[in-house]
Amino acid sequence: MRGRTLTRNWLHFGRLLRGLGFDAGPARMLPFLRTLTAIDMSKSDDLQTAVRVHFGRRRDELALLDRALYAFLNSPGDVDAARAGSGTTAREEGPGAILGSRQLSVLDDSDAPDAQDLEVASYSRVEALRRRDFDGMTEEEMAEVRRLIRMMRVPAGVARSRRQRRGGDDRIDMRRLLRASLRYGGEPLVFPWRGPTVRPRPLVLLCDISGSMERYTRVLLNFAYAIQNASARVEAFVFATRLSRITRLLRSHDPDAALNRVMRTVEDWSGGTRIGEAIETFNRRYARRVLGHGATVVIISDGWDRGEPDQLKTAVLRLQRACHRLMAIREPAGRGALPQVLTTVARATGSLSASHAFTSVMTSRMNRVCPSPLPDIQVRASIHSIHARCHDRCESVACGQRPGRPGHRGQYLGQRSAAGRLADGHQPVGKNIRVGQRRVSRGRGVRAGSGNPQGRAISPISLRGQRRPGLDGRSQLRG
Amino acid sequence: MVQDLPLFTIEEVERELQSHRYVAGRSLATAVFLALTLQKPLLLEGEAGVGKTEVAKVLADILDTRLIRLQCYEGIDVNNAVYEWAYARQMLHIRLLESAGADRAAMEREIFSPQFLVKRPLLQAIESDGARPPVLLIDEIDRSDDEFEAFLLELLSDFQISIPEIGTIKATVPPVVIITSNRTREIHDALKRRCLYFWIDYPSVDTEYAIVKARVPEVPDKLARQVSNFIGNTRRLDLYKLPGIAETLDWTRCLLALGERELEDGAVQATLGSIVKYQEDLERLRGEPARELLARAVNA
């Protein structure tokens, strides 16, 4: 009898955890209840460990779990059973209790460093700010966001994976070879091949939301939201004076809800900028966790930095070494061109080889913008990164040569607009564009050639940047 | 439900770990005890060098059973993790059968029989028929990709593997599974749900002292005490990569190799590279900061 009551009380604990956003469904509750029979519950340390091993998912959440357990064990005995929603009216003994929203809010007010990662309903100190900046999106904006999502290809490029798949030309698929040869009395007549797969690189966005960027904040967040929801492998951060991780906050079907969540959680809207410090925080706290698997990092900022130039330089250099590629997008102060930049990016990445178009549009923009207060390092970092950091090979669609080699042109293939100019305002780099266009217009593909050693036909699709699986897009498109 | 294993209480687990020179706090002992009792995989997360992999090794020693280790990497697949056919031998065997005039059905049966099966770690762990289940260590799972994680889901809940040509192989006794992650990416929640989760933190100064004494028994008390103080204070600094226990032990051995009986400036400056492994961190520590840490470690 006592055991049953105990179980029921612990089920309340499960409900409490679910309310806090933990996964405390039957799949976890049952083993947990079994655990309680195996350990001595009077030892609170063991109990705490048991709760942690069953419900913990991330280190950041462990403190919250402890507090939930503490609150559960120390809550007053009389429980409002009706509020518990259990349908029973019996008063239960022992430590069972359902915490009211007030108590939950005590729980949320966690001072753990990563508390902003937790998606817990909380009362915000920036409510006023939210009203001012973010009273819902207009229908127009919603449409824009939806359009962005549709068009979005994550502009982080692709990486060769060690995972192999059928087809391709990397090595013989022995298993299928054997199967096929059985058909011919053991004679290997048909040679099936295996090849590497490519997978999109993870993308990490670092967005400046300081005062000088105020009017772009919304666009930036829309952009982050769109890109985040177009691919699973995007991490988003915002910074002004401090850095906040907003990845989990953005994950939602409803843009308004996602952005409101960000508004509530992030605390330094429209503050001063300390880019160097923010990047350094990123390097220390997050780099190892989110830069794995060859991530591409994009910093979006106007470059008005109030911090130490030296700190910024060191931090950027370090970040550049830790990621596959670092790109910086700078908003020319006072020109209001950032929204166009982002739209251009979306448009370009929707139709062209993503990584390349993104970089080229961005670099050309950066090269043209008015004198920037940012130290020179950032521009160099990104230009350098295009040519030197991509496995020592230029990723330019039209080039594909090693930098410094005779064939290396370092030019880019931009998106042609109706006016026949590149989307970023540059004139196309004649030859490359023509080659690309001719092939596209022909549509039937081109055979052989130095850059096409397999003699495969190139489909127009591959020229649009959706690389044919199994073929290295760079060599395929080499002019 | 409670498996017939030699460990019945948390205290016993703690004692056994200790006697195998693994100094674990009570909470880790509890987690290990629960993993053994509930027969659930134990997911260990923590910074590099805090002794995650060591837990599995020691556990295999304690249970007096085999340790089967699967080192994960990006793109690891069934061929590397579970099984593969010995293609060359199969080819030769086909020739033999052919000259003996076997028909195709017989040939296929012969070719895809267990004798041509190359067993990789996961299959070995499942198939093990000894009375004592092996310890299966899936190391650094964060290096593998989503596809492999998804594959593990099935394996870890049912402990069975199906090979199309042979059939389904199910573990008679499920192995003790330890999974480690350095958290270079988040492990999917679905996988975490099947595991018990434990975060191994950096040890306190006293625990670290005990670890140094247990792992490097020949170290003088004084040096061990100073080393743990020094490292403990170093971990409070704002470094890119804080030294783990592995670094502490390495450093202690370095100092012993140099014939040091206690910490002194020259040797510390010369061996800083075995505590911090980033150039920036080294710059930060070298010279005055290290001397300061040293003074605090000696006077503590």
List residues bridging with A160 in a β-sheet. Answer: A198
The ipTM, to two decimals, is 0.73
**Chain B interface includes A42 (CB < 8 A):** no
**Chain B interface includes A185 (CB < 8 A):** yes
Of B143, B145, B182, the CB nearest to A163: B145
**Chain B interface includes A321 (CB < 8 A):** no
Sign of CA dihedral A427, A430, A435, A440: positive
**Chain B interface includes A59 (CB < 8 A):** yes
Which of the two residues, B48 and A126, has the higher pLDDT score?
B48
SS3 A145: helix
What does the H/E/C string look like for A103-129?
HHHHHHCCCCCCHHHCCCCCCCCCHHH
- Write down the pLDDT at residue A138: 61
A456, pLDDT greater than 90: no
Looking at every residue in chain A, the average pLDDT score rounds to 60
- Write down the pLDDT at residue A402: 40
CA distance A360 to A412: 6
- The CATH number for A201-424, chosen from 2.40.50, 3.40.50, 2.60.40, 1.10.540, is 3.40.50
Q: DSSP string spanning A429-469?
A: -HHHHHHHHHHHHH-S-----TT-TT-PPPPHHHHTT-PPT
Q: DSSP string spanning B67-106?
A: EEEEE--TT--HHHHTEEE-HHHHHHHHHHHHHHT--HHH
Which chain B residues contact residue A174 at CB under 8 A? Answer: 85, 87
How does pLDDT run across A166-225, given as a tens digit for each residue? 887 788 888 888 888 888 877 788 888 988 888 878 888 888 887 766 666 766 777 777
- Write down the pLDDT at residue A304: 65
B145, pLDDT greater than 50: yes
How does pLDDT run across A5-16, given as a tens digit for each residue? 677 788 889 888
Of A45, A58, A289, the CB nearest to B184: A289
Of B182, B184, B240, the CB nearest to A283: B240
Q: B32-41, B78-87, B127-136: which range is least confident on average?
A: B127-136
Whether B81 and B133 have beta carbons less than 8 Å apart is answered as no
Do A175 and B280 count as a contact with CB atoms less than 8 A apart? no
The closest of B229, B279, B284 to B252, measured between CA atoms, is B229
Provide CATH 3.40.50 ranges for chain A: 201-424
CA distance B41 to B157: 9
Which chain A residues contact residue B185 at CB under 8 A? Answer: 289-290, 292-293
Do B111 and A182 count as a contact with CB atoms less than 8 A apart? yes
Mutant choice from A45, A49, A114 vs B, greatest count of B C-beta within 10 A: A49
- State the smallest CA–CA distance between residue B299 and chain A in angstroms: 30
Do A175 and B34 count as a contact with CB atoms less than 8 A apart? no
The residue in chain B having the minimum alpha-carbon distance to the alpha carbon of residue A184 is B104
**Chain B interface includes A30 (CB < 8 A):** no
How does pLDDT run across A281-314, given as a tens digit for each residue? 898 888 888 887 788 887 777 666 677 777 777 7
CA distance A329 to A155: 13
For A422-459, b where at least 16 C-beta lie within 10 A, e where not — what string?
bbbebebbeebbebbeebeeeeeebeeeebbeeebebe
Specify which of A287-296, A416-425, B184-193, B231-240 reaches the highest per-range mean pLDDT: B231-240
Query: Could you give phi then psi for residue A326, rounded to 5 degrees?
Result: -115, 130
How does pLDDT run across A348-362, given as a tens digit for each residue? 333 222 333 444 444
Radius of gyration of chain B (CA): 24
Whether A453 and A474 have beta carbons less than 8 Å apart is answered as no
Report residue B178's pLDDT band, with 50, 70 and 90 as the boundaries. Answer: very high
Whether B43 and B136 have beta carbons less than 8 Å apart is answered as no
Whether A338 and A369 have beta carbons less than 8 Å apart is answered as no
Which are the contacts of A383, defined by CB distance < 8 A and separation ≥ 6? A363
B129, pLDDT greater than 70: yes
The closest of A171, A478, A424 to A462, measured between CA atoms, is A478
Report residue B25's pLDDT band, with 50, 70 and 90 as the boundaries. Answer: confident
Report residue B157's pLDDT band, with 50, 70 and 90 as the boundaries. Answer: confident
Do A162 and B73 count as a contact with CB atoms less than 8 A apart? yes
Which chain B residues contact residue A295 at CB under 8 A? Answer: none
Whether A186 and B94 have beta carbons less than 8 Å apart is answered as yes
Report residue A3's pLDDT band, with 50, 70 and 90 as the boundaries. Answer: low
What would the mean pLDDT of A220-241 be, rounded to a whole number?
Answer: 76
B189, pLDDT greater than 70: yes
DSSP letter, residue A326: E
- The first and second tokens of residue A254, run together, are 């409803």
DSSP letter, residue A370: P
Do A39 and B107 count as a contact with CB atoms less than 8 A apart? no
Which chain A residues contact residue B90 at CB under 8 A? Answer: 178
Sign of CA dihedral B256, B260, B264, B270: negative
Residue percentage of chain A with pLDDT more than 90 = 1
- Long-range (24+ apart) CB contacts under 8 A made by B73-77 are B73/A162, B73/B143, B73/B144, B74/A161, B74/A162, B74/A163, B74/A293, B74/B143, B74/B144, B74/B145, B75/A161, B75/A162, B75/A163, B75/A164, B75/B145, B76/A162, B76/B144, B76/B145, B76/B148, B77/A163, B77/A164, B77/B147, B77/B148
The closest of A238, A263, A246, A247 to A137, measured between CA atoms, is A263
CA distance B56 to B62: 10
The closest of B175, B65, B157 to B121, measured between CA atoms, is B175
CA distance A188 to A171: 15
Which chain B residues contact residue A114 at CB under 8 A? Answer: none
The residue in chain A having the minimum alpha-carbon distance to the alpha carbon of residue B191 is A57
Mutant choice from B11, B12, B34 vs A, greatest count of A C-beta within 10 A: B34
A100, pLDDT greater than 80: no
Whether A378 and A305 have beta carbons less than 8 Å apart is answered as no
CA distance A445 to A432: 16
- Write down the pLDDT at residue A239: 86
The closest of B36, B38, B178 to A35, measured between CA atoms, is B38
How does pLDDT run across B50-65, given as a tens digit for each residue? 999 999 999 999 999 9
Maximum C-alpha span of chain B: 85
- Write down the pLDDT at residue A303: 62
Report residue B69's pLDDT band, with 50, 70 and 90 as the boundaries. Answer: very high
CA distance B31 to A53: 7
How does pLDDT run across B209-268, given as a tens digit for each residue? 999 999 999 999 999 999 999 999 999 998 888 999 999 999 999 999 999 998 999 999
